[in-house]
Structure 1
Amino acid sequence: MLVLQFVEGLTDRQAAEAVRARIDFKYALGLDLDDPGFDFSVLSEFRDRLVEAEAGRRVLDGILAAAGETGLLKTAGRARTDSTHVQSAARQVCWLELVAETLRAALNEIARAAPDWLRDVAEPDWFRHYATRAEDTRFPKSRAKRDEVGLRIGADGTRLLEVVFSPGAPEELRTLEQVETLRQVWVQHFHQVDGEVRRRDPKTGRRARHAWSRPMTPRPAAALNATPCGTATKSISPRPASRTRRI
């Protein structure tokens, strides 16, 4: 499943949904057509066990040995591969899902509390980028383009926090639960360098007492249903609490 997830560039949620709904995934995994699949959190737990037991390296070393014996691998010297690239790619798309869903949930809650104010301060692209859930969209496959998406989300979230905490914003917005979640997630994952929003290094970034690693959307909120020019858009609605995990 991790190999299929890597090839397709899916988040954990998207991968679990593909197993449940796609015939080609069921065929590749040897599942019955009516198999209900599994919860997306299983993938993260499996990756942890895979790394701890070095099982991925043993499996892939066996593949290399078999390929060499049949003449499929003719590279001079020693050849080796492991699950590092697979794990890294899965982590990156899941991180994009985290920050995108966190920002979308904050926009939803603000839309319910102060829709007119949000229409006045929102950037036009926000209604296009955050009108649908992250797992209903596909992130770019190349790492460079995914990095661009992450920086764009970081800049949008920083802009939203700036206007929410500006003197002219309604005071009640600063106490909203999703706005506080957005602030905490952005402190953990982004910072500004020479006026530009950058992602913190995952290895050296700030660690809060309770770190967020999954999209957090505790309760439904009103839809952001109109752009500044009055054009209807798709509803921006956060994920039900039963499908989220707090770590």
Structure 2
Amino acid sequence: MRWPLGVGRIRHMSSSAATGVFEVQEFRDHGRVDIRSAMDPVSLQADPLRKAGFKQALASAVQRATVGVFTHDVEVSLVWFVEESRRYRTHLVADLDNVMKPLLDAVTGADGIMIDDNQIQSIRASWTTPGPRSGFELQFTALMRDEYVSREGLSFVEFSADRCYLLPGVDRAVQSEFVGAYRAALEAYGRMLDEGIAESDARGVLPLARPFPRARLGRFRVLHHTAF
């Protein structure tokens, strides 16, 4: 299911903010968020206090500089600018795989740009010599740009523990229309399975909206479908 025109959409082109050590820019019409910093990303194995401070600062910067959230699959790209001598000749520089998790955790959740980090469909991570700058550049891109919507007022409707669907931040009557459409699609899917239709074929009637497991929704507001 796509959002109807004007519901839950982000209509402005872009916004940006430099917040402390992080510069965050949101390209709303393109479904993209860029983050730049002159400091090194923190490692998953770093001191817990240092790691928590980094994640909190990045989360706050993203919250203040963005209004949107990715609702489906996301591509992530990281470029880390680090001197070759540090990379090769010391033990003080973290491995690429260890710096990804703190970055992703910091931008995920009710105040972030992702609902859950299992939305990540692909990751590209590299390091390069710094040239005119040091630090890192991190980019998040929706695989389909209309799958980046305003996070204000968003909630979810639960049909089962493994099927919760996004509801836009609109009035209750419009949300009820969304719930009715989701319900009809799920009922049709169930009937097709009962009739012996292959699951791969029956899946074609399911909503285009991505389902989320209830356990992954954390601080998001989740309503049971019987409330509508």
TM-score with structure 1 setting the length: 0.27
Computing the radius of gyration from Cα coordinates, the structure with the larger value is: 1
TM-score with structure 2 setting the length: 0.29
More helix by share: 1
More strand by share: 2
